[in-house]
Amino acid sequence: MKAVAVTRDDPTPRVIEVADPELGEGEVLVRVCRVGIDGTDHEVIAGNHGGFPAGEEHMVLGHEAVGVVEDPNGSAFETGQLVVPTVRRPPATGSNRYFENGEPDMAPAGQYVERGIDGAHGHMAEYVTAPPECLVPVPDSFREFGFLVEPLSNAVKAVEHAEASRSAFEWEPESAFVLGNGPLGLLTVALLREQGYDRLYCMGRRDRPDPTIDIIEETGATYVDSRETNLEDVPDEYEQMDLVVEATGYARHGVEAVEALAPNGVAALLGIPGDTTFEFDGGRIHREMVLQNQAIVGSVNSHVGHFETAREALAAFPDWFVDDLLTGVFPPEDIEAAFESDRAKIKTVIDFEN
């Protein structure tokens, strides 16, 4: 079958022929419809994040998929059911309590592999197999955009953990600030709108006209340009933020996010920067966080419950949002074009059906 992969000696994604997957005991066979591309895929092919499956010369890419059950293989699924696969699987050494508890997203390094990212082949192939508990059913109407459930579930988890960190007192957040206008940032803006945050802001570093700024403004959020406004000036120029969600991968934002926070506020970090050295006043940040009861939460990956919440949220998003976010549908053979950076592109997807 056809798959999109990189090899150890060539990081350019391309179509290769691989063996059809073998159905393991209890595993479901899924015919892949679409697989999205995100910032992490760019980091993976650049060699900055993740790694090849042990002993393999190639890795099939892709972790944001939607597909159709082709062979339920004795599971409760029916043939034809549309599903979204999760990303993490147990490592070669076997399962562990994180998987057994249904919380593989909380497993530390070494206790998981990630399909298409770290140590396991991904979903960017004509067929994949998965245990039934790693497949989340979605409605038939999700065929074209169901691959967004996975990235949205990452945002769902980050917001859930941030909000949980404020659960020891009466916290009534109203304002939220998303750092980053990539696909993850824009999905987070739409999610927070759906979750009832009244006053929303989103930071980018682009000039108008720009399709991401149009989406931000169409959701009713305010665009903040990081070239004009430092995070420490946000409270004066805009307002103090109850919640900040970082989705830039820009290392300074990992500490500076708290500068935009209101007292009792929380910042959730999602970006995955490389090692970066910079100066900042650690004493001031430390002091202000203590005196203002603030929190910073890091968040990665997501479990089935987050996928289910993301599925409901996505169904409630306005149609225009998904239409505007999805800027390119490419056949596997056009993988290079799908990966090309271009300001007009927001979210691109590989389509295995047409």
Q: Which residues bind ligand NAP (CB under 6 A)?
A: 38-40, 43, 151, 154, 180-185, 203-206, 226, 247-250, 270-272, 299-301
Q: From the list Zn ion, ligand BGC, ligand NAP, none, which binds 193 (C-beta under 5 to 8 Å, kind-based)?
A: none
Q: What is the DSSP letter of 272?
A: -
Q: What is the smallest separation between the CB atom of 92 and ligand BGC, expressed in angstroms?
A: 18
Which position's Cβ is nearest ligand BGC? 40
57: phi then psi, degrees, rounded to nearest 5? -85, -15
Q: How far apart are the first and last CA of the chain?
A: 15
* Binds Zn ion (CB under 5 A): choice among 3, 30, 37, 38: 38
Q: Verify binding: residue 81, Zn ion, rule CB under 5 A.
A: no
Choices 147-155, 196-204, 251-259, 283-291; region in contact with ligand BGC by CB under 6 A: 147-155
180: phi then psi, degrees, rounded to nearest 5? 115, 130
By CB under 6 A, what part of segment 115-144 binds ligand BGC? Answer: 117
- Grouping H, G, I as helix, E, B as strand and the rest as coil, residue 208 is coil
Q: What is the smallest separation between the CB atom of 11 and Zn ion, expressed in angstroms?
A: 18
Nearest partner of 29 among 169, 134, 127, 133, judged by Cα: 127
* Binds ligand BGC (CB under 6 A): choice among 13, 27, 38, 247: 38
CA distance 132 to 328: 30
The per-residue b/e assignment along 35-69, b for 16 or more CB within 10 angstroms, e otherwise, is: bbbbbbbebbbeeebbebbeeeebbbbbbbbbbbb
Query: CB of 78 within 8 A of CB of 72?
Result: yes
Say how far residue 80 (Cα) sits from the centre of its chain.
26
Q: What is the smallest separation between the CB atom of 251 and ligand NAP, expressed in angstroms?
A: 9
Query: CB of 175 within 8 A of CB of 243?
Result: yes
- Grouping H, G, I as helix, E, B as strand and the rest as coil, residue 349 is strand
By CB under 5 A, what part of segment 42-71 binds Zn ion? Answer: none
* Binds ligand BGC (CB under 6 A): choice among 114, 242, 256, 259: 114
# of chain residues touching ligand BGC (CB under 6 A)? 11
* Binds Zn ion (CB under 5 A): choice among 4, 28, 29, 40: 40
* Binds ligand BGC (CB under 6 A): choice among 5, 36, 62, 63: 63
300 versus 322: smaller Cβ distance to ligand BGC: 300
Query: CB of 114 within 8 A of CB of 49?
Result: no
29 versus 184: smaller Cβ distance to ligand BGC: 184
- Grouping H, G, I as helix, E, B as strand and the rest as coil, residue 6 is strand
Q: From the list ligand BGC, ligand NAP, Zn ion, none, which binds 117 (C-beta under 5 to 8 Å, kind-based)?
A: ligand BGC
**Cα dihedral across residues 350, 86, 271, 203: positive or negative:** positive
Please report, for residues 31, 69, 164, the alpha-carbon distance to residue 74 in angstroms, rounded to integers and kept in the order given.
17, 12, 38
* Binds ligand BGC (CB under 6 A): choice among 154, 175, 188, 248: 154
4 versus 261: smaller Cβ distance to ligand BGC: 4
Residues near ligand BGC (CB under 6 A): 38, 40, 63, 87, 114, 117, 150-151, 154, 300-301
